[in-house]
Structure 1
Amino acid sequence: MIRVALKGVDSLRLFKFERILNEDPVAHSLTLLGTLPDVNDSDKTLQAIIRVEKTALPAQQATTLVTHFVKDVQLMENTDIYTWFMGWLEASREHPDLKINVVCPATELHIRKYTKQDLVMVRETPELFQRIVKPYIDAFPPSRTQWVEDILSGESEAEKILHRAPSPDYGYVILPDMKWDLITIPALYLVAIANSRSIRSLRDLRKIHLPMLRSIRFEATRIVKEKWGLTDGAIRFFVHYQPSYYHFHVHIVNANYYGTMGSTVGQAHLLDDIISLLELDSDSYEGPSIFERLTLTYGLGNQHDLYEPMKQAQTDLDD
């Protein structure tokens, strides 16, 4: 795979801006499309996506935040008991101001994924899954999830693994998600990735996977208590449908974190509810599982490849 060698600010300054893909005033982020030089050919450039997000204020420095960390202010307005300032913080190696994520080389699918989208709610019946969604998932080349394979094999992010259950069919790893800055506990974000390549999405879960799902819940709860002091009930587990990549994984976030659309109804399914539904399923492993029999309702963005066929299929459901 072609890779871009990004080692510091000088590398980022080679980025040539093309356009804004998304502006999120809630997350205080901008997602930009542009190009970076190809490390293997100086005459070529590769499409790149850079997401720049302001980090959270350092709560652990609350006692000195205003008196020491605020470098300068500009008065905006004053009325009665209220005053507004714009402010600038002191530069700090311990408390960076920005988190920067880079995707390079970025494919057209990446660009569409990171572009601001209008959502439509669709109902996916088992028949629509078999006719439209399953062929779409099956057509994905293995290269699309090579980065997942690298994590599972230990070739990348090995030092970040918090727990590894080694079973090839029912094992998993737990590690911090790249969306988390590893500092701000209220924004804690981990991910558990299954070892099995046969579990592509929620639809593939069966009763036989219950021990794995319960283990993810138990081990993640233990980890966040031991490492970050979060007590029982302080984290939220959910699974996306549709997911952003088709290799089964569980999102693990601080229960007070609402930083992404993906944690809202219409895409996120609580792990406890998934476990409960599987517990209610037949003890027989013959025939379709409960998640193969369900009609699932979710939001699809207009940049998603499933948008047009699934939107058109809704007309037939309403007839």
Structure 2
Amino acid sequence: MTTVKDINSLRLFKFERILNDDPVAHSLTLLGTIPDIQNPETKLQAIIRVEKTSLPAQQGPTLITHFLKDVQFMENNDIYTWFLGWLEASREHPDLKINIICPATEVHVRKYTKQELVMVQETAKLYEKIVKPYIDAFPPSRTQWVEDIITGKSEADKVLHRSPDPDFGYVILPDMKWDLITLQSLYLVAISSSSAIRSLRDIRKIHLPMLRGIRSEATRIVQEKWGLGAGALRLFVHYQPSYYHFHVHIVNANFHGTMGSTVGQAHLLDDIISMLELYPDDGPGIFQRLTLTYGLGNQHGLFEPMKEAQASLEQIAPI
């Protein structure tokens, strides 16, 4: 296994193809290989996602007079003028954020490849027949990195809050997507301590204290650490999630830089809590009975079986 920790090891990356180019997020996702440091003859498949960081607001007063290194005139029309520009290199304000997955599996390659979405309806029966077996087939190694965070083996210094209960506890820490600088793109994640809670489908009324705790602690943390007040956060849960260990996304309410916060994948934590509060205590929980509609990419492992299953769903007659 390789560990890429400096510019020299990063430059050993051998490009194969572009998996995704996202002009909205100003990012490129690249597929290639990196030599294994223990056996340089072995080439490990690697995914590298490179995105431009946001311009820090604190640069505003001196952005043009100090940080701007050079410009190239493009065009002007009446009162409007266009330039291309280059900024001075800065240790405090990096230009790029680089995320690496190595060794990357074919599942990772499909996940990060640009995809066409189709909307599907997942009934409780389809969940039991198709989705649950798909989730159960994943080996524990796929979420070992999550277990390392929960146990404190990895990223312990980044944890902002830890609730230690093994069944209903959680940790809150910055998400890898955040550059830790730009407040408007603030992105934290709360991860359940229990590996038995794989997705939203496993959430029941007994989990209400955990969900409320995540909400209150996230609010407290961003108020104390970054001065963000009430209503400054959007907390949501993905379904389908990117990995099957229950977690809650915590972002600045003004951050719109991710498709994952749109309808068809994101479920607001406040709405989840409210639905659980209104549902009876006995019998199957609401998320075990609900039909969930979501967008599924054509590279997802569930795409073909779920798309085929849509034809068997009973159509609702028009009123």
TM-score computed with the length of structure 1 as normaliser: 0.98
Question: Post-superposition shift, 1:271?
Answer: 0.1
* Match in the other structure for 2:259: 261
Alignment of 1:186-205 (within 5 A): 186-205=184-203
The CA deviation at 1:209 is 0.3
**Mapping 1:33-52, distance limit 5 Å:** 33-52=31-50
Cα distance between partner residues in 1 of 2:278 and 2:130: 28
Inter-partner Cα distance in structure 2 for 1:262 and 1:223: 23
Distance in 1 separating the partners of 2:80 and 2:227: 37
What is residue 133 of structure 1 aligned with on the other side? 131
> In the TM superposition, what are the counterparts of 1:23-172 in structure 2 within 5 Å?
23-172=21-170
Aligned ranges for residues 171-250 of structure 1 at < 5 Å?
171-250=169-248
Runs (4 or more) in structure 1 with deviation over 2 Å come to none
Partner of 2:312: 316
Q: Distance in 2 between matches of 1:275 and 1:7?
A: 41
Q: Which amino acid aligns with 1:45?
A: K
Equivalents in 2 of 1:310, 1:7: separation in Å? 40
Distance in structure 2 (CA, Å) of the matches to 1:297 and 1:12? 40
Match of 2:220, SS state, is helix
Deviation, 1:83, is 0.4
User: What is the identity, as a one-letter code, of the residue corresponding to 2:167?
Assistant: D
What is the Cα deviation at residue 5 of structure 1? 2.0
C-alpha separation between the residues in 1 aligned to 2:35 and 2:308? 41
Give the TM-score normalised by the residue count of structure 2.
0.98
SS at match of 1:182: coil
1:236-289 Cα distance to aligned partner (Å, 9 max, x none): 0000000000000000000011111111000000000000010011122xx311
After superposition, the C-alpha distances for 1:62-90 in whole angstroms (9 at most, x for unaligned) are 00001110000000001110100000000
Distance in 2, Cα, partners of 1:29 & 1:168 = 37
TM alignment of 1:267-278, pairs within 5 A: 267-278=265-276
Q: Deviations over 1:196-220 (max 9, x none)?
A: 1111000000100000000000000
Question: Matched residue of 1:220: which SS?
Answer: helix
User: 2-side partners of 1:242 and 1:265: how far apart?
Assistant: 12
Q: Which runs of 5+ in 1 are unaligned?
A: none
Partner-residue secondary structure (3-state), 1:167 = coil
CA distance in 1, matches of 2:67, 2:9: 28
Aligned to 2:299: 303
Deviation at 1:45, TM superposition (A): 0.5
Pairwise CA RMSD of aligned residues?
Answer: 0.7
Structure 2 counterpart SS, 1:298: strand
Instruction: Give the C-alpha shift of residue 136 in structure 1.
Output: 0.4
Counterpart-to-counterpart distance in 1, 2:96 and 2:129: 44
Corresponding residue for 2:288? 292
SS across alignment from 1:262: helix
What is the identity percentage for the equivalent residue pairs of Structure 1 and Structure 2?
77
